[in-house]
Structure 1
Amino acid sequence: MRRKSKSDYEGSYATSDNSNEFDPMRDGAPKVALWKTWGLRIIFAAMVIVLGSKQLNYLLEGASQWSNWRGLGHSMLFTLAILAIGGVFRPLAFLPVMIYEMAWKIVWLAVVALPPFLAGQEIPGIVNVKASIIGICVLIILVPWKYVWWRYFTQPIEPWRQKKSINNNK
């Protein structure tokens, strides 16, 4: 089987010898500015260093004294920091991790932080609200949205099952 060149992926679906192979590269990906990939790398590195060290300290200090929900939160945040290691090296491949980071913070701000703020009460101090808002704004600028749209919405979905192969040796 020969190696496909870039021109093989241009235009419509590239065909292969095996009908059960799935080729997700239909069209060329939109270009992503180098400053955006480096910005994402820096954010991923900050997640690894800041979030990872903070959550690791929490986990080592005394997880046995937490409620189940607090333990769940710290475990998920530590796992997010571990996954961010991949984003330092491959920021476009790990974009779903960054999108998840933005999504959970937006949900937290809207559901947990906003109601007490509107009622004039103290906002729970689990997450720094100002830093979250600034971080979300920075990520909205850094995430290459054209690439996200191309990669996750315009590409054909993976097949649900293999195609039946026709046996020509009757």
Structure 2
Amino acid sequence: MYLTIAVGLALVVWPGVLRHAQPWGLSQGVVKCMLAAFSLLCVIGIRYPLQLLPVLLWEMSWKALWLLLVALPAWQSGQMDDGIAGTMFECAFAVIIPLLMPWRYVYAHYIRKQGDRWLESGVSSANRTRALP
């Protein structure tokens, strides 16, 4: 999955990131930069697939939310325009992610496993603050 995403974004996003003739608007700049960063994280995910699972969970989550909260209501109300339809088509590829997700690992490590402690045992926040240079 990481390789598919990295190659796909390398072909679709990176040419525009490296060579854009005009300045981007706010939304376009945010989207292009987020997709470029996501592609770089997917390259790292090829080497460390389990450690980068939160990246795939984020991708799957935001696309599912967008499809449910934006595309579905637009389709149901008959207000589907070309922009929404195009984004819906692009988001539909996220259907592959849950099929390839190691759900036992996700459950064991992100749901069942005890979370990390925020403070070290025996050290109060007041003592920690005074110890800083």
TM-score normalised by the shorter chain: which range applies?
0.7 to 0.9
For these two proteins, the number of residue pairs brought into alignment is 122
Match of 1:140 among 87, 93, 98: 98
Asked if the contact 2:5/2:39 (under 8 Å) is kept, the reply is yes
5+ long unaligned stretches in structure 2? 124-133
RMSD of equivalent CA atoms: 2.3
Following the alignment from structure 2 to structure 1, what is the Cα–Cα distance between the partners of residues 90 and 65?
15
Give runs of aligned pairs for residues 69-108 of structure 1, distance below 5 A: 69-108=27-66
Asked if the contact 2:71/2:84 (under 8 Å) is kept, the reply is no
Question: Larger % of helix: which?
Answer: 2
Give runs of aligned pairs for residues 10-25 of structure 1, distance below 5 A: none
Identity across matched positions, percent: 26
With over 3 angstroms needed to count, the CA separation of the structure-2 counterparts of 1:54 and 1:137, relative to structure 1, is: closer
Listed one character per residue, the Cα deviations across residues 7-45 of structure 1 (whole Å, up to 9, x for unaligned) are: xxxxxxxxxxxxxxxxxxxxxxxxxxxxxxxxxxxx211
Asked if the contact 1:55/1:74 (under 8 Å) is kept, the reply is yes
Listed one character per residue, the Cα deviations across residues 80-109 of structure 1 (whole Å, up to 9, x for unaligned) are: 000001211221221111111111211222
Q: Which has the larger radius of gyration?
A: 1
Listed one character per residue, the Cα deviations across residues 50-77 of structure 1 (whole Å, up to 9, x for unaligned) are: 1133211222332743211210011101
| 2:130 alignment counterpart | none
Q: What is the TM-score when the length of structure 1 is the normalising length?
A: 0.62
Q: What is the TM-score when the length of structure 2 is the normalising length?
A: 0.77
Structure with bigger RCO (C-alpha 8 Å, 6+ apart): 1
